[in-house]
Structure 1
Amino acid sequence: MSTATVEAQERTRAFARVIGPYVATFTTIYAIRLPEGLDIVDDLFAQPILVLLLGALMLGAGLVIIGGHRSWRGPLAVTVSLFGWFVALRGFLLIVAPATVASGAEATMLSPTGVILARIFFGMLAVTGLLLTYAGWFTKPTAPKPSATATP
């Protein structure tokens, strides 16, 4: 499989520079403050307009990533693309099924096992955010490999 073009790699790195610190910061804080999560979730879903606005913003942000980043070559590019799809899907679900999202979050927060699993999940996301940050800020693009079917 050939390497992505330098331009595609630069675009991936640009998205990683933004997404990485955001994911690392947000998920670390959320994992630490998880016991307060039920109150936050209850307060958020008590105001349907906030849920709709949050869903619309998340859907829009996810679509910007999906539309602006179309490369799936390499682990960094796949991670950025999957993040865009994940954010868009979460935003869509907040718009079309807020009660389902709220009940899922509530069930997780009320279960001791759910809280532990959520902390592990957010911890893994924080590490992913740190890796994205490193790759976005401190790596350089590689030159594309020449095609094996080059004509003389």
Structure 2
Amino acid sequence: MSSSPQIQARTGLFARVLGPYLIVAALTMVARASYMSTLLAQFDADSVWPWVTGAFVLPMGLVVIVLHPYWRGAAATIVSLLGWLTAFKGLALMAFPHAYLSMGHNAVGVAPWWQVGTVIVALVGLYLTVIGWIPAASQPISRGAARPPRDLPRAA
């Protein structure tokens, strides 16, 4: 079984990827809010795009599910939940594209609410980014750890 430091490291690695992605995706959606209806309509116009997108999204979610089956702690729970949501999104795009995209059209129709939801996604992304990229100040340095090499005097 994996030890706790290995689980934390894996959660941190996924947080490094998912956090910045969520921030960028959410901020661009809010910044281009007026374009979202057009984007959804064009995406829905050709039935091949939802299927191809789902074919790429589903394996991404499955990778997170398989490599991160951990649910202890806020960051680990968020990473695992995102894996499952991503897999369901990929499945929905492949199997039920019109139902999935009609929910998207309905959500964009009530602009203030999906924008609030998108800001919440950006905040979750910020949390994961901090967890993944900023080293924990509270982690003790073990006494058995190797010391960094000393600078040696230069010759000549």
Q: Secondary structure at the match of 1:83?
A: helix
Whole-angstrom distance in 1 between the partners of 2:47 and 2:103: 17
**Partner of residue 116, structure 1:** 112
Name the structure, 1 or 2, with higher relative contact order (CA <8 Å, separation 6+). 1
Q: Secondary structure at the match of 1:70?
A: coil
State the Cα RMSD in Å.
1.5
TM-score normalised per structure 2: 0.83
TM alignment of 1:1-80, pairs within 5 A: 5-80=4-79
Whole-angstrom distance in 1 between the partners of 2:127 and 2:66: 23
**Partner of residue 83, structure 1:** 82
Equivalenced residue count is 137
TM-score normalised per structure 1: 0.85
Which 5+ residue runs of structure 2 have no aligned equivalent? 141-156
**Among the aligned pairs, what percent are the same residue?**
30
Output one character per residue of 1:28-67: Cα deviation in whole Å (capped at 9) or x when no partner.
1112212211110111111111110111111110001111
The answer (yes or no) to whether the contact 1:6–1:142 under 8 Å persists in 2 is no
TM alignment of 1:126-137, pairs within 5 A: 126-137=122-133
Output one character per residue of 1:99-131: Cα deviation in whole Å (capped at 9) or x when no partner.
111222222233xxx110000000000011011
- Compute the displacement of 1:142 (Å): 5.4
Q: Secondary structure at the match of 1:22?
A: helix
Whole-angstrom distance in 1 between the partners of 2:36 and 2:88: 21
**Partner of residue 103, structure 2:** 104
1:125 aligns with one of 105, 121, 126: 121
Which letter does structure 2 place at the counterpart of 1:134? Answer: V
Whole-angstrom distance in 2 between the partners of 1:139 and 1:25: 22
Whole-angstrom distance in 2 between the partners of 1:70 and 1:105: 28
**Structure showing greater Rg:** 2
**Partner of residue 138, structure 1:** 134
Whole-angstrom distance in 1 between the partners of 2:4 and 2:133: 18
Whole-angstrom distance in 2 between the partners of 1:118 and 1:11: 31
The answer (yes or no) to whether the contact 1:59–1:89 under 8 Å persists in 2 is yes
- Compute the displacement of 1:68 (Å): 0.8
Q: Secondary structure at the match of 1:39?
A: helix
Whole-angstrom distance in 1 between the partners of 2:106 and 2:68: 34
- Compute the displacement of 1:139 (Å): 3.1
